[in-house]
């Protein structure tokens, strides 16, 4: 029986929905997480280098390899479970280990990723996170631990996913270079739910860092726009004056427009990515379904106070760039219209001048033609007088009388001959 053909991408598109499963974790445990990004043009990086780097880590531990061209992988390295993911601009490494160290957030937990191996990474460290997962106990004991582990000023605490866990973090980098998050889960919380909570915390930090890259670009852009804005405003304000020729203003305005367009090309990808990463951060926090704990600020409140202003700065810089480019475009159109009008007026004057010159040339031509008739007639009369002299002598007509009779006839003949030649030349 003949069956309908599947779209060639049907299975690939469905498999993409299940490509990055959440880890299954049981409390107590520790998660070590690192995100690596190339400093420039990370979206166009050589992904073969990323694959070679993760293979080097797997080979150190005698672990199996991912499939060629894979974008994610889960396997075992020593006593930890490794999860590797390749994203558009960065690569992440997560290692999950059972049990807890005696020292909370012990930097040795990050040694699952050897220092010399990290130093060979094709990029720089964007995020480094330690997550400590404990079983939830007495609330007073929990708050005492948080006061001991985190900076109170920036501490964010929330009960999440319908009260199944309490998460906490201060979004500060500790002396060892890592950011800390604590997760306290109820004893009956499922392993996959714990894995989702831990992964979302790591994603919040990673996408927060990625979106904050746009803030740095926005600050640099603001300085350039501050320099261009007065120039553009002065040109626009001077459109109705004749202090400078319109063509000079147009050339200056085109220079500013070109610079604005260049800035837009340089920043469009980063600003677009910043908007996408901001949306992911907000979505990940919303998915946690936070509830307040002991009057402390939640992760959403922390982001509203500390993170949202940065994102508004990026959006403001982007909007200002677009606005200035549009102003420059409108001003250029006005200047082009003014230049076209001035050129039309110049062309009109030129045509009038050419008409006058043509009129003068025509008059001069008529004058020359008249002089030509006189000159040719003078010589023709002399020749005709010599030609008829024998006849006039025989008829006893004087030379003066013969010349007087011949002159109008010769002039009329010359004039008719020149007129005919002129008509044939047309």
* DSSP string computed for 360-381: HHHHHHHHHHHHHHHHHHHHHH
Residue 57 CB burial class (10 angstroms; 0-12, 13-18, ≥19):
buried
Q: CA triplet 369, 373, 376: central angle to 5 degrees?
A: 125
Residue 209 tokens read as 């860092």
Identify the pLDDT of residue 184. Answer: 97
Question: In 113-190, which ranges are continuous DSSP H helix?
Answer: 115-119, 139-149
For residues 74-99, give the mean pLDDT.
94
Strand partners, 85: 72, 92
Identify the pLDDT of residue 180. Answer: 96
Q: Which residue has better confidence, 328 or 277?
A: 277
Identify the pLDDT of residue 243. Answer: 58
Identify the pLDDT of residue 357. Answer: 80
Residue 186, pLDDT > 90, answer yes
**β-strand pairing of 124-135 with 179-185:** parallel
- Cα-to-chain-centroid distance, residue 87: 20
Task: Supply the pTM of this predicted model.
Answer: 0.77
Q: Which of 206, 198, 180 shows the shortest CA–CA distance to 90?
A: 206
**Are 135 and 150 within 8 A, CB to CB?**
no
**Are 167 and 160 within 8 A, CB to CB?**
yes
CA dist 351 and 117 (Å) reads 79
For 275, the 3-state DSSP assignment is helix
Identify the pLDDT of residue 373. Answer: 62
Identify the pLDDT of residue 98. Answer: 94
Portion of the chain with pLDDT greater than 70, in percent: 83
First to last CA, the chain: 87
Identify the pLDDT of residue 21. Answer: 78
The per-residue pLDDT for range 238-253, each reduced to its tens digit, is 666 665 666 777 778 8
The per-residue pLDDT for range 51-72, each reduced to its tens digit, is 999 999 999 999 999 988 888 8
The per-residue pLDDT for range 213-240, each reduced to its tens digit, is 999 999 999 999 999 888 888 877 766 6
The per-residue pLDDT for range 22-61, each reduced to its tens digit, is 889 999 999 999 999 999 888 999 999 999 999 999 999 9
**Are 49 and 122 within 8 A, CB to CB?**
yes
Residue 232 tokens read as 């553009």
Residue 206 — very low, low, confident or very high, per pLDDT cuts 50/70/90?
A: very high
Residue 330 tokens read as 């409108």
CA dist 84 and 19 (Å) reads 12
**Are 331 and 236 within 8 A, CB to CB?**
yes
Identify the pLDDT of residue 240. Answer: 63
Identify the pLDDT of residue 183. Answer: 97
Q: Between 308-394 and 191-237, two packed helices, what is the crossing angle to 10 degrees?
A: 40
Phi and psi dihedrals of 20, rounded to 5?
-125, 75
CA dihedral 54, 98, 115, 171 (to 10 degrees): 100
CA dist 255 and 126 (Å) reads 37
Residue 296 — very low, low, confident or very high, per pLDDT cuts 50/70/90?
A: very high
Residue 418, pLDDT > 90, answer no
Q: Which residue has better confidence, 195 or 345?
A: 195
Question: In 295-307, which ranges are continuous DSSP H helix?
Answer: 299-302
Residue 122, pLDDT > 80, answer yes
Q: Which of 91, 98, 126 shows the shortest CA–CA distance to 112?
A: 98
CA dist 210 and 311 (Å) reads 11
Residue 106, pLDDT > 80, answer yes
Maximum alpha-carbon separation in the chain:
159
Portion of the chain with pLDDT greater than 90, in percent: 57
Q: What is the mean pLDDT of the chain?
A: 86
Identify the pLDDT of residue 291. Answer: 94
Domain locations in the chain?
21-191, 211-349, 363-425
Residue 426 tokens read as 């047309």
Phi and psi dihedrals of 75, rounded to 5?
-165, -175
Phi and psi dihedrals of 31, rounded to 5?
-120, 130
Residue 327, pLDDT > 70, answer yes
- Cα-to-chain-centroid distance, residue 150: 39
**Are 33 and 202 within 8 A, CB to CB?**
yes
The per-residue pLDDT for range 348-402, each reduced to its tens digit, is 888 777 878 877 877 777 676 666 666 666 666 676 666 766 766 666 666 667 6
């Amino acid at each position: 029986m003949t069956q309908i053909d599947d779209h060639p991408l049907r299975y690939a598109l469905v498999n993409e929905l299940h490509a990055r499963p959440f880890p299954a974790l049981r409390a107590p445990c520790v998660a070590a997480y690192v995100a690596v990004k190339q400093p420039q043009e990370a979206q166009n990086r050589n992904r073969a280098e990323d694959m070679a780097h993760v293979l080097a880590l797997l080979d150190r531990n005698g672990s199996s390899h991912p499939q060629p061209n894979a974008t994610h992988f889960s396997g075992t390295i020593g006593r930890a479970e490794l999860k590797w993911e390749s994203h558009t601009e960065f690569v992440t490494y997560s290692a999950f280990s059972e049990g807890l160290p005696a020292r909370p957030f012990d930097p040795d937990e990050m040694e699952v990723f050897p220092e010399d191996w990290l130093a060979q990474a094709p990029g720089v460290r964007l995020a480094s996170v330690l997550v400590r997962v404990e079983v939830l106990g007495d609330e007073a004991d929990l708050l005492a631990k948080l006061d001991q582990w985190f900076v109170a000023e920036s501490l964010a605490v929330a009960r999440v996913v319908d009260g199944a866990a309490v998460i906490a973090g201060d979004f500060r980098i500790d002396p060892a270079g890592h950011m800390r998050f604590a997760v306290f889960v109820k004893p009956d919380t499922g392993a996959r739910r714990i894995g989702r909570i831990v992964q979302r915390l790591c994603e919040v930090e990673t996408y927060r860092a990625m979106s904050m890259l746009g803030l740095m670009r926005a600050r640099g852009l603001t300085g350039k726009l501050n320099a261009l804005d007065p120039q553009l405003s002065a040109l626009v304000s001077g459109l109705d004056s004749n202090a400078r020729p319109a063509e000079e203003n147009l050339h200056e305005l085109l220079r500013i427009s070109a610079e604005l367009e260049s800035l837009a090309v340089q920043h469009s990808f980063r600003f677009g990515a910043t908007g996408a990463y901001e949306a992911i951060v907000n979505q990940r926090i919303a998915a946690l379904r936070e509830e307040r704990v002991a009057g402390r600020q939640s992760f959403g409140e922390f982001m509203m106070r500390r993170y949202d202003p940065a994102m508004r700065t990026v959006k403001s810089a982007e909007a200002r760039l677009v606005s200035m480019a549009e102003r420059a475009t409108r001003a250029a159109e006005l200047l082009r219209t003014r230049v076209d009008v001035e050129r039309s007026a110049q062309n009109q004057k030129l045509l009038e001048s050419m008409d006058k010159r043509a009129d003068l040339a025509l008059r001069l031509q008529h004058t020359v033609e008249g002089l030509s008739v006189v000159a040719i007639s003078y010589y023709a009369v002399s020749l005709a007088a010599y030609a008829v002299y024998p006849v006039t002598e025989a008829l006893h007509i004087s030379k003066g009388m013969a010349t007087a009779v011949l002159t109008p006839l010769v002039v009329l003949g010359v004039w008719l001959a020149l007129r005919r030649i002129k008509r044939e030349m047309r």
